[in-house]
Amino acid sequence: MKIALVSPASFPATQFGGIMFLVADIAKEATNLGNDVVIYTTDLDFANNASTFNKNLPKKETLDGFTIKRSHVWLKINLFFLNPGIYFQMMKDSPDIIHTIGIRSFQSFIAAIVAKKKKIPLVISDQGGLTTHPDLKSGGIFKKILYKLQTPMIHFIINNSTKISVANEYEKKIFEKFSQTSKIEVIRNGINLKTMKTKTQNFKKKHGIVLPFVLFIGRFSKVKGIDILLHAIKILKDRYELENIRFVIMGVDFGFQNQMIQMIDDFGIKEKIHLITNPSREDVIAAYSESEFLVLPSRWELSPLTPLEGFAFKKPVISTNVHGIPSTITDRKNGILVKNEDSHELAEAIMELINDKQKCLEYGLSGYNLVKTECNSKSMTEKTLRMYNQIINR
């Protein structure tokens, strides 16, 4: 089968987020099963700089058996990247099916146009919060105008899709407002367990961390709830149990880094926190491995991959009980879910896991079993390929 995958970013943009890894993992697993896979994407070079579009990246590259075709981004509006060359690349090829991930993107719009023109079945996935992401209701007038302009584009993409692949029932309900239920298929997100191996021998030694640490990893954005975590650390800073525990905060700036650093200073918690900016993928994986557990107090997530990556190392996760998060983290089974915006409840959950090693082991093992049996890239890709074949055969 010839498969076209479409995404706003691919390698080497490893810090772009979950979309990039989902596309890459589907490409890798599908190639291993004998399919011909091409990823159509931009020349975003996020691994080196958060806003770099690198013309020196190869226009065409083979990686792990699949092909990446890049075209240059001529205009960037927030995370909306315009690369007109993707249209001409896709029109030259004739895949059996097109699957685009990230509906609020220029790349998905082009994929829908090409699919319609060439009469190729189109599968769409979102991963960006079609109507529920907090940024849709906040921000300045310019951002609100941009989202308004995207509305007809989104309807065009959905209306021209053959199938909508969603990660959980929460996302399914969102799409049911736009399309008939029969068009929607739930396929859980998964991670590639083979890549969850660290080459960094001693993460703590490399970064000068002496004590055991609790890990936050994610974009430095208010949506990720970093301010809630900092308030919780402030509440706990004088507790004797925290004398021998540190918090590692790792990520890439998405507009909140300066405010975060100011809050750390204002709260007097600098000695409790080790801040790592723009970490390499190897450091991220090593941090999972050496952490005690993860704290991810997001205000919104659709189907987060970070908890699954933590589970790969048998680490429990503390998060919030909102949006799609409970579809990944089950309270009191593989982690603890607290009320959104509640720093006091978050602080108590952190203390609970710090003081109960056995509970950490039990929750971590339960999370590992989830990714081992269901939320892994192999299972995700097999179900996705089955959906492709059903569409093509029909």
pLDDT along the chain (394 residues), means of 10: 97 85 96 98 76 89 96 89 97 98 95 98 89 74 75 95 96 94 96 85 90 96 96 95 95 93 97 94 94 97 95 98 96 97 98 96 98 97 98 92
Q: Are 44 and 53 in contact (CB under 8 A)?
A: yes
Are 104 and 19 part of one and the same domain? yes
Are 242 and 322 part of one and the same domain? yes
Are 31 and 177 part of one and the same domain? yes
Are 305 and 204 part of one and the same domain? yes
Are 176 and 212 part of one and the same domain? no
Are 29 and 130 part of one and the same domain? yes
Are 118 and 250 part of one and the same domain? no
CA neighbor of 306 nearest in space, from 226, 219, 230: 219
Paired tokens of 345: 């409840």
- In 10 A of CB 386, how many CB atoms? 12
Helix axes of 106-118 and 85-92: crossing angle, nearest 10 degrees: 30
pLDDT of residue 51: 64
| Averaged pLDDT of the chain | 93
CA neighbor of 303 nearest in space, from 65, 55, 128, 62: 128
Q: Are 370 and 334 in contact (CB under 8 A)?
A: yes
Paired tokens of 104: 């609020």
Tens of pLDDT, residues 51-92 = 689 999 999 999 999 999 999 999 988 778 999 999 999 999
Element (H, E) at 5: strand 2-6
Q: Are 325 and 305 in contact (CB under 8 A)?
A: no
Are 122 and 205 part of one and the same domain? no
Helices (H), the chain: 18-32, 85-92, 106-118, 141-159, 169-175, 203-206, 226-236, 257-267, 281-290, 306-311, 343-354, 357-373, 377-393
pLDDT of residue 123: 98
pTM: 0.92
For the chain, the domain total comes to 2
Are 202 and 169 part of one and the same domain? no
CA neighbor of 370 nearest in space, from 308, 305, 317: 308
Are 121 and 256 part of one and the same domain? no
Q: Is 239 helix (H, G, I), strand (E, B) or coil?
A: coil
Are 88 and 237 part of one and the same domain? no
pLDDT of residue 148: 78
pLDDT of residue 131: 79
In sequence order, what are the beta bridge partners of 13? none
Are 222 and 344 part of one and the same domain? yes
CA neighbor of 161 nearest in space, from 243, 93, 97, 106: 97
| Cα separations in angstroms, 139 against 77, 142, 253, 301 | 14, 8, 17, 18
Q: Are 359 and 353 in contact (CB under 8 A)?
A: yes
Q: Which residues contact 212 (CB under 8 A, 6 or more apart)?
A: 244, 245, 246, 292
Structural domain that includes position 237: 195-373
| Cα separations in angstroms, 190 against 53, 58, 118, 328, 371 | 28, 28, 31, 10, 7
CATH of the domain at 281: 3.40.50.2000
